[in-house]
Amino acid sequence: MKQECKVEPLAALQENKIAAFDMSARDFLVGEHGRCENPRLYRSVEPRLVRLHRRVSRKVKGSSNRDKARVRLARTYENIGHRRTDWLQKISTTLANEHDAIIIEALNVAGMKRWNGGIAKSVTLDFSWGAFVRMLGYKMAWRGKQLVTIDRFYPSSKMCSACGAVNSTLTLADRHWTCPSCGAMHDRDVNAATNIKREGLRILSEKGINVIKPTTNSTAGTAGINASGNPARPVTSMARVDERRIHVL
């Protein structure tokens, strides 16, 4: 009988090895010190899919030419799925190896499908947010690490990370905004990532997990700052994927 591998969760975490990310349709993941670009695996070949669909529709039903066109279309969709799975496996493994805890929002993906076509294509077809969260969850658990999800109603984007005021007038189109209470200027996604991390640290504390703050002269950590004052390891570097190893269409 196959036995499950039981890994004891880490009881103490280094704060500079805890990362928080805001999901962005354009950038996939946005952290406090970097971004990981949306691979656009579906939309990069969408014009080809349109042509293949058109060819299928123009063939005579029941003909061998229509069958051939349908096979070409099906194989294209299959290759997109293989590329997406390959990319997600690589990036989720990299993130799980790099961090002791990762904090993200619990998003309503089903709702996004209904009200915004652009976001829907990103979260379901370009990078598949649901599959990414599942992969990241079990890979973190295998390593005894923490994946913390923040309630989707937490106002991470509308809350000022400097003073805590909530800007209820903020819309999805506002990518940069100034806090009306304290005057702090924010990048919408970076501000959200900062608030997500703060809330995640609170949740970890409630779970009884000890979060160890770095010393003042420490230069280690993915989300830390190196000696020159620049981001030590931005998301784009941390989560880089070798595109040559991804199946091509």
- Residue 42 has what DSSP assignment? T
Does pLDDT of 154 surpass 90? Answer: yes
**Are 118 and 164 a contacting pair, CB within 8 Å?**
no
Number of compact structural domains in the chain:
1
Is 189 considered catalytic here? yes
Does pLDDT of 25 surpass 50? Answer: yes
Q: Is residue 53 situated within a structural domain?
A: yes
pLDDT at 78: 96
Which region among 70-74, 121-125, 215-219, 227-231 has the lowest average model confidence (pLDDT)? 227-231
Does pLDDT of 223 surpass 70? Answer: no
Note the pTM of the prediction, 2 decimals: 0.78
99-150: pLDDT as tens digits: 999 999 988 777 776 666 667 777 888 888 889 999 999 999 999 999 999 9
Which of 15, 27, 32, 105 is the catalytic position? 105
**Range 8-12, long-range pairs (CB < 8 A, 24+ positions):** 8/144, 9/144, 9/145, 9/146, 9/209, 10/100, 10/144, 10/145, 10/146, 10/209, 11/209, 11/210, 12/209, 12/210, 12/211, 12/212
Q: Tokens representing 76?
A: 């294209």
- H or E element at residue 78: helix 64-98
Helical pair 129-142 and 64-98, crossing angle rounded to 10 deg: 40
The residues that bridge with 24 in the sheet, in sequence order, are: 28
Q: Is residue 226 situated within a structural domain?
A: no
Does pLDDT of 219 surpass 60? Answer: no
Mean pLDDT of the chain: 83
**Are 229 and 22 a contacting pair, CB within 8 Å?**
no
Q: Is residue 2 situated within a structural domain?
A: no
- Residue 105 has what DSSP assignment? E
Q: Is residue 73 situated within a structural domain?
A: yes
- H or E element at residue 141: helix 129-142
pLDDT at 230: 36
Percentage of the chain exceeding pLDDT 70: 81
Q: Is residue 164 situated within a structural domain?
A: yes
Is 105 considered catalytic here? yes
Q: Tokens representing 143?
A: 């390593």
Owner of token pair 């929002």: 105
Is 22 considered catalytic here? yes
Domain that holds residue 94: 12-214+231-245
Q: Is residue 3 situated within a structural domain?
A: no
Q: Is residue 17 situated within a structural domain?
A: yes
Which of 100, 126, 189, 199 is the catalytic position? 189
Positive or negative, the CA dihedral 94, 132, 236, 150 is negative
Region 164-183 average pLDDT: 92
Percentage of the chain exceeding pLDDT 90: 59
Which of 22, 27, 32, 100 is the catalytic position? 22
Q: Is residue 220 situated within a structural domain?
A: no
Interstrand relation of 18-20 and 101-105 (parallel, antiparallel or unpaired): parallel
| Number of Cβ atoms within 10 Å of the Cβ of 163 | 11
